[in-house]
Amino acid sequence: MIEFKNPHFAWLLLLIPLLLAIYSFSVYLRRRQLSRFGDIQLMKSLMPLASRFRGWVKIILICAAIFFFVSAIMQPRIGQVVAEVKSKGAEVIIALDVSNSMLATDFSPSRLECSKLAISRLVENLKEDRIGLIVFAGDAYVQLPVTNDYMSAKLFLNSINTNIVSRQGTDMSKAIALAMKSFSSQSEQSRALVIITDGENQEGNPVEIAEIAHKDGITIHTIGIGSTEGAPIILSDGSMLKDKAGEIVMSRLDQNTLKLVSSAGGGTTTIASQSSLGLDAILQSIKEMEKKELMSEEFKAYYEFFYIPLTLALILLVLDSLILERKNKILHNLNLFRRNRI
């Protein structure tokens, strides 16, 4: 099925009826002016080289050229080709904590920015595996569904900030529950969930949910980012987060909860350092997982053929330039198609 990439240029086709209307009116005015000098048929005999139809042929050629030229700039194309692509790999969902505590500065420039950089490097090392992104704080949302489009993953990753989830807190249980719904049905026993968080202000019961997820074939790894000494939380306006008593809030890493969650999920807990977030070790364990054959749809590029109407438009304009409004005197005198009178 043919469709157009730039259909908004279709309004230019209104030039065709407008041009025909203007030319028809000019022909009418010309005949009206000639009729003032005498009988129309007599005037025709006095102008043997004048052509009544050549003007119409030329204007029709111009209108057709406009039609094809507008069609060309609308960029006609034939529909996308959808193909099924088979690959062997695992499905990896990264759940990233975006609560305000991730703005703490014990990791430069912040825990959140350091995590995003490490995830970006992880994406670069993936090959046939699929990746998905979940952001969570007091609630959890899918930022990117599971995909093998690594470029999109990096673009979505760049847009993540602490304002993306309105409800504050750190509820890992909601992130795990959402991840269980986000894996595809064909990735059984090849599913990995990587949770990056400081584990502070924990809500819900993530350990119980982690056990259920592990029975469903999901291996849960946790990465703790932050220091046990704690660090202040720098807000977007440059001020430090304070509690109700006006004291500066110090955000500290909760290692115990992270270890309980990863143990229940059959995975490992890694404590990030300034030099490494610990994703490399987790990536290695993901590579060692059983690889399942994954089916995905790949959308290939449209086949565009704007050059065809563009070529036709140019040919019509050349024809229009070759046709004169008056009859050719030499050809007219040849008298090829008229019978000689005796």
**Chain centroid to CA 180:** 26
Percentage of the chain modeled with pLDDT above 90: 29
DSSP labels for 80-97? Answer: PEEEEEEEEE-EEEEEEE
Question: How large is the average pLDDT for residues 255-274?
Answer: 90
Q: Are residues 195 and 229 in the same domain?
A: yes
Q: What is the per-residue DSSP string for 121-145?
A: HHHHH-SS-EEEEEEESSSEEEEEE
Mean pLDDT of 161-182: 90
Residue 295 exposed, middle or buried by CB count within 10 Å (0-12, 13-18, 19+): exposed
Cα separation, 161 vs 102, whole angstroms:
10
Nearest Cα residue to 73 out of 3, 1, 9, 2: 9
Is the same domain home to 167 and 128?
yes
Distance from C-alpha of 173 to C-alpha of 193, rounded to nearest angstrom: 12
Instruction: Give me the pLDDT at residue 290, please.
Output: 61
Q: What is the pLDDT of residues 37-62, one digit of tens each?
A: 655 565 555 555 555 677 788 889 99
Which of 8-12, 183-187, 298-302 has the weakest average pLDDT? Answer: 298-302
Instruction: State the average pLDDT over residues 227-238.
Output: 81
> What average pLDDT does this structure show over 285-299?
61
- Give yes or no: residues 200 and 137 share one domain: yes
Both 108 and 10 in a single domain?
Answer: no
- pLDDT at residue 322 above 60? yes
Q: What is the domain extent for residue 11?
A: 2-79+303-334
127 falls within a domain: yes
Interval 97-123: pLDDT, tens: 999 889 988 888 889 999 998 888 888
Closest CA to 257 of 201, 212, 218, 180: 201
337 pLDDT tier (thresholds 50, 70, 90):
very low
Exposure on the CB side of residue 295, measured as CA atoms within 13 A: 5
Q: Out of 12-26, 82-96, 284-298, pick the least confident.
A: 284-298
| Predicted confidence band of residue 86 (pLDDT cuts 50, 70, 90) | low
pLDDT of residue 334: 45
Paired sense of beta strands 76-78 and 2-4, if any: antiparallel
Residue type at 81?
Answer: V
**What is residue 300's predicted lDDT score, i.e. its pLDDT?**
54
Q: What is the spatial distance between Cα 167 and Cα 162, in angstroms, rounded to a whole number?
A: 10
- What are the helix (H) ranges across the chain? 15-35, 40-46, 54-73, 111-125, 150-158, 172-182, 206-215, 255-264, 279-287, 307-322, 329-334
Question: Which backbone phi and psi does 90 adopt, to 5 degrees?
Answer: -115, 165
**pTM score:** 0.60
Asked whether residue 306 carries a pLDDT value surpassing 60, the answer given is yes
Q: How many domains does the structure of the chain reveal? A: 2
Are 170 and 111 part of one and the same domain? yes
Structure tokens at 171: 């509820």
Q: How large a percentage of the chain has pLDDT more than 70?
A: 80
pLDDT(284) > 60:
yes
Q: Calculate the average pLDDT of the chain.
A: 81
135 and 70 both lie in a single domain: no
* End-to-end CA separation in angstroms for the chain: 62
Residue 342 lies in a domain: no
Q: At what angle do helices 307-322 and 54-73 cross, to 10 degrees?
A: 160
289 shares a domain with 186: yes
Q: Would you state the pLDDT for residue 336?
A: 41
324 assigned to some structural domain: yes
Of 332 and 316, more confident: 316
Q: 26 lies in a domain?
A: yes
The CA distance from 305 to 302, in Å, is 10
CATH number for the domain harbouring residue 238: 3.40.50.410
DSSP 248: B
Instruction: Convert the pLDDT of each residue in 203-212 to its tens digit.
Output: 788 999 999 9
**Residues in Cβ contact with 65 at an 8 Å cutoff, skipping those fewer than 6 apart:** 312, 313, 314, 316, 317, 320
Question: Is the same domain home to 67 and 110?
Answer: no
